[in-house]
Structure 1
């Protein structure tokens, strides 16, 4: 039988972010990693989550976004933003155990899941989950407003999709959320202009 926490996790993995580590889930649940690992093993045995070993950099300390932009505000210095994004990486990738939604979870909750199509993106995907966890700690009331990239991509074949957006009570996007990784100036510029053209506020982490 699924608990409320189980359901919340599976809804996240099928529609808010792609994968998570036990340490991140312990932050979300406010309990020990040992407790989290026991529950993940049970969900894995039930075919609701999948386990994968990936190469990923250790999580950065994401205390807040590097850039906050509002419509009508000045353009950021794209070169400076890119430098700050790249300069924070100091640790090499390490083998990391992650969990993602199994096909049974997709059948129950909709959304997406299954094996990773792009395992080299694990560092990026884990940091998106870390941003979600940070929001859960800072302002849990906003979590229901979060829509993940896979949800946003449905029905769209082209164009830049942010990692997530926050929506209002009518489902309209109010703020884009993006993890910057090691973006070069051109990629920062593209992300900014997509949001600026849509008059959509954003946070670049």
Structure 2
């Protein structure tokens, strides 16, 4: 059995609990940012975890993510609504790269037995990969900028049982899935104006601040 490093354990725990999938760039830039020959080191290590069945490698077609250094839109109760058309234009115009086949990594049932959470679920449809990678990037940005807030991240898989007949966001920051969120987080993909407005109206109705990435 491969001896797991603290870095290995964090990657596996995040895949089991916070996000569904990570790609090589996300793994490299997050956990090997200052390493000489960074890409090779990251690939070798994640492939080693795959060899011992702690991660699953799946090749999917996904769009290269645009820069995600800050939210495209944010709102809080008792403030004016954003310009939905302008938000939609920013979301749609940011996609400049094409779709490419790329390896992505998910947790296995073996890793979920070690770390809890979920594992053993492969991406059912390749076109979900871009969305899930975008959600993962939201989490990684939060982890980098505010570790305390990242610790309160709850993804949609954990939220779903508590959101009966309600819109299901990509993630929230909250003490628990059944508690009122401090912040609602949504990966906007290439949402059109109507979808941006629908998301806003749902959060507005429940007086919940949000960010669209």
State the 4+ residue runs in structure 1 displaced beyond 6 angstroms.
none
Greater relative CO, 1 or 2 (CA 8 Å, sep 6+): 1
1:26 aligns with 2:53: no
1:89 aligns with 2:95: yes
Q: How far apart are 1:155 and its partner, in Å? A: 4.8
> Where do 5+ consecutive residues of structure 1 fail to align?
none
CA distance in 2 between partners of 1:159 and 1:117 (Å): 24
Alignment of 1:26-175 (within 5 A): 26-31=28-33, 32-113=38-119, 114-168=121-175, 172-175=180-183
Which secondary structure state, in structure 2, belongs to the residue aligned with residue 80 of structure 1?
helix
Alpha-carbon RMSD across the aligned residues, in angstroms, is 2.0
Q: How far apart are 1:109 and its partner, in Å? A: 2.9
TM-score (norm 2): 0.87
CA distance in 1 between partners of 2:12 and 2:160 (Å): 19
Cα gap change, 1:187/1:30 in structure 2, threshold over 3 Å: closer, same or farther?
Answer: same
1:31-62: per-residue Cα shift (whole Å, max 9, x none)? Answer: 42222222211211121110011111112111
CA distance in 1 between partners of 2:127 and 2:188 (Å): 15
TM-score (norm 1): 0.90
> Where do 5+ consecutive residues of structure 2 fail to align?
none
Q: How far apart are 1:28 and its partner, in Å? A: 1.8
Q: How far apart are 1:144 and its partner, in Å? A: 0.8
CA distance in 2 between partners of 1:161 and 1:108 (Å): 28
Alignment of 1:182-201 (within 5 A): 182-201=190-209
CA distance in 1 between partners of 2:64 and 2:173 (Å): 26
